[in-house]
Structure 1
Amino acid sequence: MPAVAAMAVGIMTMSALAPPTALAAARPDTVQQGLNALVRTDGLPAALASVQDRTGRTRTYTAGVGDVATGSKVPKDGQVRIGSNTKVFTAVVVLQLVGEGKIGLDATVDTYLPGLVRGEGIDGRRITVRQLLQHTSGLPNYTDYDLQPRYFEPRELLGIALRHTAHFEPGAKWEYSNTNYVLAGLIVQKVTGRPLAEEMDQRIIERIGLHHTYFPAPGDMTLREPHPKGYDRESAGAPLRDVTEMDPSWAWAAGQMISTGSDLDRFFTALLAGRLLPPAQLAQMRTTVPADYFGSGARYGLGLVSTPLSCGGVYWGHGGSLPGYETRGGATDDGRAANVAVTLQPTDEAAMEHAEKVVDTALCR
């Protein structure tokens, strides 16, 4: 059994406590049990969850330890690197600009970045903004290639991708590629004349009060608020390596952001409630194609994933993966939300399937 088997577990209610009878009826708490299993059975250092019900009440949960060296507690609703959940923020900004008439979904990349996207089988005159957001561009994924730990400019990331051959004709199929979102971020900057991070702050973070969410500035390798440490290991059974502090610039518009579970709950519920996009753009965002990469029955819209629930219906979210942290979660149309984070990228798929099951459990109970 992993050494983390004896690690502490905890739960906290963020708003008004439920009556004793309600708490008694809820025991044993299935979300807490799921997090405990991620630590004790899957051997993850820590697991965190934030669950919001239809009334807006939020409960946060923890399991494991925030620091394997000291055994310190996991911070309640601690900050984590949210990886590809960043794509949803990028897509929202693009779609807001679409609603303002500043970007056309079916305009080509060359409309905004003339001559920039050229390579073997790659031509920005034939790739649309919609294809970027939906991963149907055929562009190679720059993160498939060796990236040394250092600061990267966004155009450097694009350059890595353009050294490789297109994977398919634009629009021919679906294939996940972080390169798409680097380009989407570059388009935002070209159209607005402002850094992507500033646009996210003004248009999303400040607008709906995400007080624990930010896009790290160049050179910022830390997490600002209380957080569990993130770990990596080269292979199953190898020693854990602390990778909490890192330069996330290699992920940029595709995965650089930091947030908490409760902020992600707020973000996804606000998005689905129409507080961030006009109805026409939200409908486009929710127009999907099959994307089994995210699991059986999953579908990908414009930066937004729909995942079937065991109790019927779907939830909308994304998930993210960055060294040290994995996140899964999203929200339903009726205001339920759940986000789960763990502090190690598992070397097997089973652990992340278990994390996804915790999200399903939280949304279906």
Structure 2
Amino acid sequence: MEAEPALLQPPYVDTAEAVRRFATGDLVFEPGARFDYVLSNWILVLAILEAVTGQPYPDAMRTLVLDPLRMTQTTPVAAPGTMSYRAVSPPVEWINPRPPFLAAAGGYYSTAADLLRFAHRVYDTDFLSRASRAALTTIEVASDNYALGGRIRTVSIGGVDVRAAWETGNTSGYRSVLGHRLDGRGAVVILNNTAISQRTMDAFAEALLQARRRARRHSPGQSARTGGFENLNSSTNLEIWKPMPRSSRSPPLPNRRGWRRFACWSATNPTVCRPVTSRTIWRSRPTPCRPISAS
């Protein structure tokens, strides 16, 4: 596609033509013999889905995923003012052309709340069959920890190795990471639009999962969850929730009885997230760590 930049500008070719141009020809290797993450794979995924469902990809996504999971803020259309940046000082916009035939590869916009809902329903409930969940979490390519459509990462939490579904995204200046503990006890979503290093994003997300372990213990039967996000600075959005007693000084979450925001972000070290306990006055602003404000 770099050789044909006009393909990234309207009028776009249709799915069949995209498959003909980018996903046909002689095989580079026999299927299953090697691992190669390339965009043409996702053109084929999109084409197969359209052929099986008889629907355009956006309609199939809406029918199979977005509507059943109530992902109302996930769409192939960017919200007004949405921008990605190649640099922030001074700001340099990074244009993100995404033709319809690449919609399965970074072609959707979403929010942390929607992505957390997605992860919970996919990995923790019977939305998918047991066999499908097993396929999603079985590593097929050990060198890349790659399973069916995503990676599985092992995170050390309190000295215990915990498996987590690990989904990342990198398109123009947009970056994302979703880390979901497969034991259902926590999840993290980080979204960025300033081309931050994916390695930094992964380190931040892993530190957040580990931070839950350092917070005070819950009552039996309760599990920590993460969700939502708020602006902390121009490049990172973050919010962490956990079950906390009504007496806690942290503000209640709207429509989330018994849940409180509990973590704070360190401006001096973006991989540190310190817990805020009931002994912390929520409105205070300690240095260098500040509580996340209520929305």
Name the counterpart of 1:230: 84
Percent identity of the aligned residues? 21
Counterparts of 1:80-229 in structure 2, within 5 Å, are 146-148=4-6, 149-151=8-10, 152=12, 153-162=14-23, 165-216=26-77, 223-224=78-79, 227=82, 229=83
Q: Deviations over 1:172-191 (max 9, x none)?
A: 11111222221122112112
1:355 to 201, 205, 230: 201
Distance (Å, rounded) in 1 between the aligned partners of 2:45 and 2:176: 22
Deviations 1:191-220 (A, max 9, x none): 22111211211221111111211133xxxx
Q: RMSD across aligned C-alpha pairs, in angstroms?
A: 2.7
Task: Supply the distance in 2 between the matched residues of 1:146 and 1:321 (Cα, whole angstroms).
Answer: 21
Q: Output the CA distance in 2 between the equivalents of 1:251 and 1:302.
A: 19
* Deviations, residues 338-359 of structure 1 (Å, cap 9, x unaligned): 111221335xxxx321111111
- Pairwise CA distance, 1:250: 5.4
TM (normalized to structure 1)? 0.50
Q: Distance in 2 between matches of 1:200 and 1:150?
A: 23
* TM-score, scaled to structure 2: 0.61
* Superposition pairs of residues 185-334 of structure 1, within 5 angstroms: 185-216=46-77, 223-224=78-79, 227=82, 229-232=83-86, 240-243=91-94, 246-249=97-100, 251-290=102-141, 292=143, 298-311=144-157, 312-333=161-182, 334=184
Check whether the contact 1:174–1:291 (CA below 8 A) recurs between aligned residues: no
Question: Between Structure 1 and Structure 2, which shows a larger proportion of helix residues?
Answer: 1
- Cα deviation for residue 304 of structure 1 reads 2.3
**1:329-340 superposed matches below 5 A:** 329-333=178-182, 334-340=184-190
Task: Identify the structure with the greater strand proportion.
Answer: 2
Where does structure 2 lack aligned partners over 5 or more consecutive residues?
212-295
Counterpart CA distance in 1 for 2:97 and 2:23 is 25
